[in-house]
């Protein structure tokens, strides 16, 4: 088994099996395109076939703060249509259901569902065909922001976009904090309610209950939580937010879930953020038992050189707008052109186009011409936690930003194009101070290493981020063009 199955920033997975093919969707927060769709025949080899939200108006996250936006979708298939339900935080749309006949798209503009206040919605149908939305009653806006009402459920009219009854509380776990990520499904004579609890950090866990109908009443499993990494000696931590699917070839059922790969002597830092993992379950007396989540990354090197005459590859990301709006492929034929946004990577909506870092050992390279402006290559968690190499004339400046702290280093280069590199590598082995942090990050311009840094400061724990590292090109002033963008990654 390969684990993680979706490496890099891919949290909150939801999975569906249709005609022998598996499809997964994950959260994207402030990035566009949103809600990537992956396809597999064996739960091992995955291909990104598109994104649900390719047009900004589908989500309305132009003003959503970093860490808000697209949270925790659920992907389902019913009556010949794929349904994607999500609650968009920090924007005007709220709870939205998108549909498509082909998961590769196009997806429709979505139908908002009024009367649902919370996060992490699930969509399920009872035996009579009635649709139900089950969700976590965490309030994200208004005077009650921060209040949590536990797991809620409401019957809805999907065509009209309305709830047809008042929400009712359901079983909300074993008492751990933040019951969330509910999924309701039927197996045999029982309906099951699968949830996450404990918070998405080190206390994350998966718990389950069952009952006689889609609305319960639900009784918790005697062995809850059925899965957690909390307190266990494992490099994979924060496991939770699971969805259940039948395994391939009639094998054991599979939980698809999030987790983090940790580094450092105390397993304190996860540079790549929350990734998508799997583990198998067996059933005993009508209850599932999950096996621990183990890391088995795909071995071997990945080398990619990306075509900068097209942004059709679904893996490109921009912040709060589509990549086609952040950069131009026609202004300078054969090159990607970026027009500067004041503040560069500190800006709320920078001129930035990037890709997820997917391996703990990695190199991003970009060949930049900044003779008419300023810009370069950056590793981003958000506008407060990032690293950059910025070319301006014959100077390249490396900058490391950690909240209110910032430090820079500069070097002189020849006029014209310059190759910029951001390299990451595993920490030194052993129990000394060098092994206490996360990975090492090197910022290199024209072959000169300007900075060699401890990656703990650009990890999910320090940045307090729900996302992960996204590395790409940016412009902060004038016009910057890019003739090459490449990636090398490997795990061991």
Residue 431 pLDDT grade (very low, low, confident, very high; cuts 50, 70, 90)? low
Report pLDDT digits (tens) over 233-260. 999 999 999 999 999 988 999 999 999 9
Q: Which residue has the higher pLDDT, 175 or 434?
A: 175
Per-residue tokens: 432: 């000394």
Give the confidence band of 410 by pLDDT, cuts at 50, 70, 90.
very high
pLDDT(39) > 80: yes
Burial classification of residue 330, based on how many CB atoms lie within 10 Å of its CB (0-12 exposed, 13-18 middle, 19 or more buried): exposed
Distances from the Cα of 68 to the Cαs of 19, 63, 133, 405, in angstroms?
A: 34, 10, 21, 23
Asked if the model's pLDDT at residue 1 lies above 90, the reply is no
Q: Report pLDDT for 436.
A: 80
pLDDT of 141 above 90: no
11 class by beta-carbon count within 10 Å (0-12 exposed, 13-18 middle, 19+ buried): buried
Question: Quick check: 84 pLDDT over 80?
Answer: yes
Q: How far apart are CA 157 and CA 116, in angstroms?
A: 12
Q: Kindly tell me if the per-residue pLDDT of 15 is higher than 80.
A: yes
Phi, psi of 144 (to 5 degrees): -100, 15
pLDDT band at 64 (very low <50, low <70, confident <90, very high): very high
79: its two tokens = 């009556």
pLDDT for 429: 76
**Contact present, 242 and 195 (Cβ < 8 Å):** no
Please state which CATH class domain 14-290 belongs to: mainly beta
As a whole number, the mean pLDDT across the chain is 95
What is the SS3 assignment for 249?
Answer: helix
pLDDT digits (tens, 9 = 90+) for 298-314: 888 999 999 888 888 99
Q: What would the pLDDT profile of 273-307 be if each residue is shown by its tens digit?
A: 999 999 999 999 999 999 999 999 888 899 999 98
Look-up of token digits 């990032």: 386
Task: Determine contact, residues 152/118, Cβ cutoff 8 Å.
Answer: yes
Domain parsing of the chain, residue ranges: 14-290, 300-491
Specify the pLDDT at position 179. 98
Alpha-carbon distance 428 to 189, whole Å? 53
Cis check: omega of the bond before 225, within 30 degrees of 0? yes
Active site residue ranges: 12, 180
Of the candidates 108, 88, 112, the one whose C-alpha atom is nearest the C-alpha of residue 100 is 108
Sorting pLDDT into bands at 50, 70 and 90, what band is 143?
confident
The pTM for the full model equals: 0.96
Please tell me the distance from the alpha carbon of residue 355 to that of residue 360, in angstroms, as a whole number.
14
* Residue 27 three-state SS: coil
What's the sign of the alpha-carbon dihedral 97, 99, 103, 107?
A: negative
What pLDDT was estimated at residue 433?
A: 72
| Mean predicted confidence (pLDDT) in 387-412 | 97
Residue given tokens 């599932």 in the structure block: 288
Check pLDDT > 80 for residue 435: no
The count of other CB atoms within 10 Å of the CB of residue 249 is: 7
Mean pLDDT lowest among 3-17, 149-163, 211-225, 426-440: 426-440
Q: What is the mean pLDDT of residues 167-193?
A: 97
User: What share of the chain in percent tops pLDDT 70?
Assistant: 99
For domain 300-491, the question of CATH label 2.60.120.200 is answered with yes
Determine how many CB atoms are found less than 10 A away from the CB of residue 279: 22
- Whether the per-residue pLDDT at 137 is higher than 80: the answer is yes
Contact 93, 59 (CB under 8 A): yes
Residues 187-213 have a mean pLDDT of 97
Q: Taking Cα atoms as reference points, which of 341, 468, 373, 489 lies closest to residue 422?
A: 489
């Amino acid at each position: 088994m390969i684990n993680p199955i979706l490496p890099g920033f891919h949290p909150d997975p939801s999975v569906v099996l249709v005609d022998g093919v598996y499809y997964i969707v994950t959260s994207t927060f402030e990035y566009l395109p949103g809600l990537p769709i992956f396809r597999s025949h064996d739960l091992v080899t995955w291909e990104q076939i598109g994104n649900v939200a390719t047009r900004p108006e589908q989500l309305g996250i132009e003003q959503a703060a970093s860490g808000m936006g697209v949270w925790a979708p659920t992907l389902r298939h019913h009556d010949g249509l794929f349904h994607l339900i999500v609650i968009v935080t920090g924007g005007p749309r709220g709870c939205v259901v998108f549909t498509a006949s082909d998961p590769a798209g196009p997806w429709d503009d979505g139908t908002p569902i009024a009367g649902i206040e919370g996060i992490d919605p699930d969509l399920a149908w009872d035996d009579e065909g009635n649709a139900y939305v089950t969700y976590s009653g965490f309030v994200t806006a208004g005077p009650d922001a921060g209040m949590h009402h536990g797991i809620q459920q409401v019957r809805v009219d999907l065509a009209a976009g309305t709830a047809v009854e008042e929400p009712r509380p359901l079983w909300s776990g074993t008492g751990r904090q933040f019951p969330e990520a509910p999924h309701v499904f039927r197996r045999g004579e029982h309906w099951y309610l699968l949830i996450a609890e404990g918070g998405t950090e080190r206390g994350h866990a998966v718990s389950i209950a069952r009952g006689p109908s889609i609305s319960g009443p639900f009784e918790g499993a005697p062995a809850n939580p059925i899965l957690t990494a909390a307190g266990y000696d494992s490099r994979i931590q924060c496991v939770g937010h699971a969805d259940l699917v039948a395994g391939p070839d009639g094998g054991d059922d599979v939980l698809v879930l999030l987790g983090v790969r940790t580094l450092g002597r105390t397993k304190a830092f996860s540079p790549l953020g929350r990734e998508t993992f799997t583990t198998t379950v067996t059933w005993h007396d009508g209850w599932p038992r999950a096996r621990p989540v183990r890391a088995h990354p795909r071995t071997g090197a990945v080398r990619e050189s990306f075509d900068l005459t097209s942004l059709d590859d679904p893996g490109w990301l921009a912040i709060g707008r589509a990549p086609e709006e952040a950069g131009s492929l026609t202004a300078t034929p054969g090159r990607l052109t970026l027009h500067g946004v004041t503040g560069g990577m500190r800006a709320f909506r920078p001129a930035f186009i990037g890709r997820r870092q997917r391996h703990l050992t990695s190199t991003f390279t970009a060949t930049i011409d900044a003779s008419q402006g300023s810009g370069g290559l950056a590793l981003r968690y958000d506008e407060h936690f990032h690293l950059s190499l910025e070319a301006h004339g014959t100077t390249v400046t490396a900058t490391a930003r950690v909240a209110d702290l910032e430090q820079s280093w500069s070097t002189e280069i020849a006029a014209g194009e310059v190759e910029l590199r951001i390299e990451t590598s595993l920490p030194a082995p052993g129990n000394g101070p060098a092994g206490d942090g996360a990975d090492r990050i090197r910022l290199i311009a024209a072959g000169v290493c300007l900075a060699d840094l401890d990656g703990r400061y650009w990890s999910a724990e320090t940045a307090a981020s729900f996302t992960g590292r996204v590395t790409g090109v940016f412009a902060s002033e004038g016009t910057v063009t890019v003739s090459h963008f490449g990636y090398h990654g490997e795990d061991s």
